[in-house]
Structure 1
C-alpha cells in the first residue's frame, strides 16, 4: 500500500493534499457518521433488550425452559422500563467487543431514553443532541421516579445540546426536589448509608506508585480533616520540604497515619471499663495497626539482581497497580515490615491433582497467577476476588466421578455473574492452551480469550 493510499479516506480523498477547509469538512463528515452510528447502536440495543423479555411461569410451561429464565430477571433501566431476562447483556457485549458492564450500561441507557426521556430520544435521533450527552442524562436520571424523569425531559427539551454538564446536573437535582417530593431529612439519612472511604488504584499505564483515596462522610468531619491535612502540609513546608503545597498535602496523609498509629485510643473508653477490657481493646488496636499490606510483585531475577547490586533500577509489576520501579518497592519496604513469599512459576503447570472439589491454596494461587482476571470475554474482574470454576462440571467421586478432577489446568477464574452465566445463561467454554479459552454463547457467538486480550470469532 502506498503512502497516498494510507493517507486517503475510504472515498479516495487524498488528505495529505487537502486544504484547511477540506480537512474541516472531512472532520465534520466523520462526526456526522459517528453520530449516526451511535444512534443506530442505541436502536439496536433497545431492540435487543425488548427481544429478551421476562417470561412468566405460564409461558415457560408451554415450551422448553430457556437457560435465561433459570436466573432472576434484571431491571437495567429506571422506573417505568421493562425488565429483561438474565444475562441479556453478555451476547451483546461479545458481539460489540466491549465489556459486559459497558453492554449493560448501553442497554439501560437505551431503555431509559425510549421510556423515560422520549423527547430527548427524538432529538438524539435527529442528531440535535450528541449520543454521549443523551446517555449522560439517562444515567443521571436513572434513580429518579418516572414522573421526575419525564419532568426533566420536558424542561430540557431543546436545551440539552447547549446546556453545560454542570447545568444539566443542577436541573436533574431540581427535578428530584420538585417532583419526587422527598424530604431533605430523608435524603440526608439516605446519604449516610453511602458513607465510605475507598482506595482506588490508577490506570496501570500511569504506573503503580500513585493511588487515590475517596471519602464520603459527614461534611463537618471531612472539612475538619481537610483543615488538618492542610496544616500538616504547611508544617512540612516550614521544615524545609520543597515540594508543592498539593504534593505536601498528599504526604501529610502518611504523617497523620503514622501519628494515629501511636495514639492510645483506649482513653476514649468510659470510666467504668475494666482494666481487662481496656487491655483487650489495646491488643485489637495493635493487631489492626500491624496488619500487613500484601503486594504481589512480578519481576525478573535479572532486574532484581541488577537493582539490588547498585545497577540501574528495573521495573516490576504489582497486581492491581501496574508497573512500579524496583526502587519504589525498596522505598516502600524501608517504611514498613516486609515478608517475601516465593511466587509460583506458571509457565509450566504442575500435573498434581486432588480428589476434592475445592483446590488447595497452592493450586488456587497457581490458577490466579495464570489468569489475573475473570476469563469471560472482555471481563476485567480480578481473579483474586472471583470463583475458581471447574471447566468441566465436577462430579462427586463418591457418586462415580473420576479421580483427579481438581488440578490447575482444570480450573479457571470466573466472577460470580459469569459463573452463573456459564451455569444457567447459555454459555460454555473450553480451555485450548494455558490462559486461552474458547467461549460459545447464544446465537452462535464465539470468542477466544487469550493472555493478551479477547478476539471475537466470525459466527458460522
Structure 2
C-alpha cells in the first residue's frame, strides 16, 4: 500500500491524541522492532558472506579475469573466519543503501559474531544484547587471536548488556595480555605502525572554516608538543587575546606553524655534513617556506570583485566559507585560489590519447565531486578517471570515432576510487552515463542503482 501525505497527517493526529502512557508504549514497540531488524540484518549479512566463498582467481562467473590482484579474496573478519570473494560488500551496500565501507563492516561483524563470539551472538539473537553493542565487541576484538576472542566471549557471557564500553575495552585488553601474551615491546612496535597525523574537515553544514587534527605518536613527543601549545596559548592571553583558553590553544597551532617555517635548520647540521647535503637541506627549507595552500573556491565573481560583506563561497572538501574568512586566510599564509571552470559545454571537445589533459580532468572533477559508485564518498580529486566505454589503443586496432572525435572526452570519463575502478574492470559491475553527472550501475544478482548529483537511488532488482 502506498503511503500518502494524508495518511501521514492522520498518523500525526493519532499520536497527538495519544496519552503519555500510550506514547511510551509505542516508543518501546518501535525500539523492539528496530532491535530485531538490526539482528536480522546481521543474519542476512552472514548468509550473504558465506554465499560468496573464495573462488579460483583465474576463473569467475564472468570468465577469465585480468591480473589476480583484481579478484583477490578478502578476509573481512578476524582469525578463524572464512575469507570471501572480492567485492562481496558492494551489492549488499547498494541493497541496503549504505556506503561500501559500512557494508564491509557489517559483513565483518557478522562473521566474527558467528565464528569468534558465538555466545554473544546467541544472546544478541535472544534480545539480551543490542546489536550495536555486539558489533562493537566484534570490531574491538578483531585483531585478537581466535583463542583470545573466545576468552572474551566466555568471560562476558551474560554481562555485555550491563557492561559499560570502558569495562568492555578493559576486558578485551586483558584477553590480549592473558591469552595472546604479546610482549609489551612487541605491542609498542605494532603501535608505532599506527602513528600518524591526520587532518579532518568537519561536516560542511557546520561551516568550512573549522577543521580537526588528530595525532598518534610517541607519548613524550606529544606531551611536549601539548605543553608548547598551552604555553603559546597563555602567551596570547598575556598579549591581550580575549578568546577563551581553549580557543587560544587552537590559534596557537598557527603561531607554532609560522615560527617553524622561519627556522633555519641548517644550524643543526654537524661539521661532517657534505656541501651537497647542506644544499639539499636548504632546498627543502625553501620549498617549505614557499609551500602554498590550494583552495578550490566556488563563488560569484561579482561577489569576489565587489567585496560584498558576508558573501559566501564553497571550498571543495570544506563546504561553505565566507569570503571574509578566505581573505583573512590569505593574509596569514600563501594561498592559491584556483579558478573554477564553467562545465556547461563539457561534451564539446575530445583528444586522441588515453590520459585527459589537465583542463579536461578538472572539468570531470568539478562535475562529479566524488567517486560515482553508489554511495561511495571518495573525493574525485584523488580518484582515477575511468573511461566509461573502455579505451582502445589506436595502435592496436582501436578507433578514432567515426565522427572524428577522440575516445577521451568528458562525457566518456567518470571518477572512480581505485577499489571501484577494479570492480568495474573485472566486469562484476557495469555502468553507463545517462545524463551529465548521472550514472546507472548494474551489479551481481541484478542489483541496480542510479547515482545522481543529489544522491543515490536503489532501483528494483532486475
Aligned match of 1:8: 11
Aligned match of 1:408: 410
Mark the CA change 1:4 to 1:14 in structure 2 (over 3 Å): closer, same or farther. farther
How far is 1:280 from its partner? Answer: 3.5
How far is 1:336 from its partner? Answer: 2.0
Contact 1:372 1:383 in 2 (8 A): yes
Aligned match of 2:273: 273
Aligned match of 2:444: 442
Task: Give TM-score, length-normalised by structure 2.
Answer: 0.94
Aligned match of 1:109: 109
How far is 1:275 from its partner? Answer: 4.8
Question: Structure 1: how far apart are the matches of 2:357 and 2:62?
Answer: 39
2:372 maps to 1:368: no
Mark the CA change 1:414 to 1:64 in structure 2 (over 3 Å): closer, same or farther. closer
How far is 1:303 from its partner? Answer: 3.1
Aligned match of 1:148: 148
- SS of residue paired to 1:242: coil
2:46 maps to 1:24: no
Contact 1:438 1:449 in 2 (8 A): yes
**Deviates further, 96-105 or 259-268:** 259-268
How far is 1:350 from its partner? Answer: 4.5
Question: Structure 2: how far apart are the matches of 1:396 and 1:33?
Answer: 56
Mark the CA change 1:183 to 1:338 in structure 2 (over 3 Å): closer, same or farther. closer
How far is 1:402 from its partner? Answer: 1.5
Task: Map 1:24-423 onto structure 2 (within 5 A).
Answer: 24-56=24-56, 65=63, 71-275=71-275, 277-306=277-306, 308=307, 311-403=308-400, 404-423=406-425
Contact 1:358 1:406 in 2 (8 A): yes
- SS of residue paired to 1:208: coil
Question: Structure 1: how far apart are the matches of 2:221 and 2:62?
Answer: 58
Aligned match of 2:456: 454
Cα displacement string for residues 295-332 of structure 1 (whole angstroms, at most 9, x for unaligned residues): 111112243244x1xx3321111111111111111111
Contact 1:4 1:14 in 2 (8 A): no
Question: Structure 2: how far apart are the matches of 1:459 and 1:300?
Answer: 43
What CA RMSD, in Å, does the superposition of the two structures yield over aligned residues?
2.0
Contact 2:295 2:335 in 1 (8 A): no
- SS of residue paired to 1:296: strand
Question: Structure 2: how far apart are the matches of 1:108 and 1:115?
Answer: 11
Question: Structure 2: how far apart are the matches of 1:339 and 1:83?
Answer: 47
Contact 1:87 1:425 in 2 (8 A): no
Cα displacement string for residues 240-286 of structure 1 (whole angstroms, at most 9, x for unaligned residues): 11111000000111111111111111122112224554243123212
Contact 2:297 2:337 in 1 (8 A): no
Mark the CA change 1:271 to 1:105 in structure 2 (over 3 Å): closer, same or farther. same
Contact 2:293 2:335 in 1 (8 A): no
Contact 2:384 2:418 in 1 (8 A): yes
Gaps of 5+ in 2: 401-405
- SS of residue paired to 1:106: helix
For these two proteins, the number of residue pairs brought into alignment is 452
Question: Structure 1: how far apart are the matches of 2:430 and 2:391?
Answer: 15
Question: Structure 2: how far apart are the matches of 1:86 and 1:376?
Answer: 16
Contact 1:445 1:459 in 2 (8 A): yes
Question: Structure 1: how far apart are the matches of 2:226 and 2:172?
Answer: 29
Task: Give TM-score, length-normalised by structure 1.
Answer: 0.94
Question: Structure 1: how far apart are the matches of 2:76 and 2:65?
Answer: 19
